[in-house]
Amino acid sequence: MKNEELWETYSKRLKADLNFLPDKPEETIESTLRSLWLAATGRPASAQKALTLPLPELTTGQRKALDELVGQRIAGVPLAHLTKRQQFMGVELLSGPEALVPRKETELLGFAALERLQEMGSQEKRTLWVMDVCTGAGNLAVALRVLYPNIQVFAADLSPQAVRLATENVKFNQLESSVDVRISDVLDAFDSGSLYNKIDLLICNPPYISSAKVPEMPDEISGYEPGLAFDGGPFGIKILSKLTRDAPKYLRIGGWLGFEVGLGQGPAMKKRLTGHKQFDDIQTVLDNAGQIRALFAKRIA
């Protein structure tokens, strides 16, 4: 069977049997099949990168591998777990079940953070210090360092498995000298005093789904991705509460705190920041539907 016939066969199968999640808009029939095709040949690529690469002819063994991969994807295994790749902010990353697959929606936080780094960098003319807690796969830490090289990044996650994957992503992008990844419950691993009042930007993409809603999530998420990465406690803001309390200790005066929020959480978190005596200049980042998906606040005292 030639490439064209194989493509037609698997395209029809994916169209008939695969449900695509709205939080992964980069995954289409074409990008999914191309990514699985390349994975079957031992040339893994994210869904986005796969669209730019030629598809080789498959050997008999590779056809069998592709058939198995398509079957697993239809069964609900995340594409990024099968290909071991995911793109974030244009940066190719390693991916797997150790951490939440980086989502397009988190790029809202990432690009807004990048804008603030560029603004501060134009004024400070020095290496900026960045903290990324709940780093997961290290996507924010790595992508920001790739896109804005003049930073030193301190990243952390409570999960040893996530820290291992984040460390692999640091090595994958050859950033060992400028991205330090640690196991930590939010900021606890940095609580020695050496980083107090020195951080220019502190960002966080926390778990923010309320525990009661976790069972309602698609099985592709709850069945394959780590619960620690999305279960945010009874109200979904457990970590954000701790973060907003402790962040001023690390931020310099004029430094920024930025974090992602779940749908519907934005107004309440904005109100909390507005009432915080050590923060000012509260800014929101909206999605295409006009919903608050990230918040930034500047330390003033």
Q: Give residue-wise pLDDT tens across range 210-265.
A: 666 777 778 888 888 887 766 666 545 778 888 999 999 999 999 999 999 998 99
100 within a domain of the structure (yes/no): no
Q: 33, 50, 83 — which closes off a domain?
A: 83
**Domain around 183:** 106-299
CA distances, 260 to each of 37, 239, 295 (Å): 34, 11, 7
What confidence tens digit (pLDDT) does each residue in 29-67 have?
999 999 999 999 999 999 999 999 999 999 999 999 999
Q: Is the pTM of this model over 0.85?
A: yes
* DSSP notation for 112-155: HHHHHHHHHHHHH-S-EEEEEES-TTTHHHHHHHHHS-SEEEEE
* Residue 77, helix vs strand vs coil: coil
At 230 the pLDDT is: 66
User: How many domains is the chain built from?
Assistant: 2
If asked whether residues 173 and 59 sit together in one domain, one would say no
Indicate the DSSP class of residue 55. P
Is 1 a residue whose pLDDT tops 60? no
204 within a domain of the structure (yes/no): yes
Mean pLDDT of 153-162: 96
If asked whether residues 146 and 201 sit together in one domain, one would say yes
261 within a domain of the structure (yes/no): yes
At 235 the pLDDT is: 47
Helix (H) or strand (E) holding 294: strand 292-299
Mean pLDDT of 96-112: 96
At 193 the pLDDT is: 87
The mean of the pLDDT values for the chain is 93
